[in-house]
Copies of this chain bind each other. A is one copy, B any other.
């Protein structure tokens, strides 16, 4: 079917040996002091025959694929697609390609993706784990394959990561709510066992405790980072009796917040007059909402780039097993109009 123009085709056509052609095509012409005439002839013939190098053969030979694996829970989430964009750009600049895998927040799929990337001899792997299990990730590292976690990580497990200072971000956000007089603050959380969620909820709790406000378990609801989760639990929270009414909501993710807003809209509850809202994750559309949202921003510091920096460092050092440092990038509270000061 596909006519195969190989190095050998080019060499045969020219009556040269294929290694000569290989050298020229790899830019080693000068190094091997191959005559200018030969070099030109080779290049012309390659062009003429429409030669396309075969990366698969090259990878097999070199035992590296010039490919970086990227595993994210949901590529359609702007937070992750922005990371993907950064990673892809930077990879390309450095001569790497990216193999994209979407785990759909499912550990099994994540494991399969990780296995796949190994099958493909990925030179390095960046993964935003679902956050539930880590053994398969540790095993990758043990095999000497460079690996960096993003967004979520595991405490006390020696896997390098780049994430956000979720704890501080959440603390700051809730301190801000409290400063504005809020005491009954609901927290809609994401996937319970993920570091991102744990840290954000802990920040929330710490803020309340700092001000002598009881942390009420019934005000911490939800179980994943989805629109549905935000929508559903907002509906639930809103149904509570008036005397226990919450005055503010702290949402731990952008998709959740969208669900919250949708539910509030349906219930005809206004922000911030009826209810205040602070959300994790910023995006440029959030300031254009019917109430511009006060958010904890962490888009500005680029997680993807930092992760790649570390990954390349590990790949260069060739002792992948040694690295285990984590980086927490700072957050920033972007104050807009979704919080009302109450007495």
Residues of B within 8 A of A193 (CB): none
* Structural contact, A75 and B99, CB atoms closer than 8 A: no
Interface residues on A, range: 35 or more
A284 within 8 A of B: yes
* Structural contact, A99 and B97, CB atoms closer than 8 A: yes
Residues of B within 8 A of A101 (CB): 88, 92, 97
Partner of A75, one of B60, B63, B84, B318: B84
Given contacts A84-B75, A85-B76, A290-B289, contact A56 B284 (CB under 8 A): no
| A263 → chain B closest CB, angstroms | 11
* Structural contact, B115 and A52, CB atoms closer than 8 A: yes
* Structural contact, A85 and B78, CB atoms closer than 8 A: no
Most B Cβ at <10 Å: residue of A82, A100, A115 = A100
Residues of B within 8 A of A262 (CB): 284, 287-288
| A142 → chain B closest CB, angstroms | 10
A121 within 8 A of B: yes
Given contacts A1-B144, A55-B119, A81-B76, contact A88 B60 (CB under 8 A): no
* Structural contact, A56 and B52, CB atoms closer than 8 A: no
Residue of B nearest to A145 (CB): B2
Partner of A65, one of B56, B88, B144, B265: B56
A134 within 8 A of B: no
* Structural contact, A56 and B59, CB atoms closer than 8 A: yes
* Structural contact, B104 and A89, CB atoms closer than 8 A: yes
Near B by CB (< 8 A), chain A positions 288-318 give: 288-292, 318
19 further interface pairs, Cβ-Cβ under 8 Å (given A265-B288, A285-B289): A1-B144, A2-B143, A3-B143, A54-B121, A56-B65, A56-B120, A56-B121, A57-B60, A75-B81, A76-B84, A78-B78, A81-B81, A97-B99, A99-B100, A258-B285, A258-B288, A262-B284, A288-B289, A289-B290
**Could you list which residues of chain A lie within 8 angstroms of chain B, going by C-beta atoms?**
1-3, 52-57, 59-60, 63, 65, 70, 74-76, 78, 81-82, 84-85, 88-89, 92, 97-102, 104, 109, 115-116, 118-121, 143-145, 227, 258, 261-262, 265, 284-285, 287-292, 318
Can you pick out 27 interface pairs between chain A and chain B where the beta carbons lie within 8 Å of each other?
A2-B143, A2-B144, A52-B115, A52-B118, A52-B119, A53-B119, A54-B119, A55-B120, A55-B121, A56-B121, A74-B85, A75-B85, A76-B78, A76-B82, A76-B85, A78-B78, A89-B102, A92-B101, A92-B102, A92-B109, A97-B120, A98-B99, A99-B100, A265-B288, A285-B285, A285-B289, A288-B289
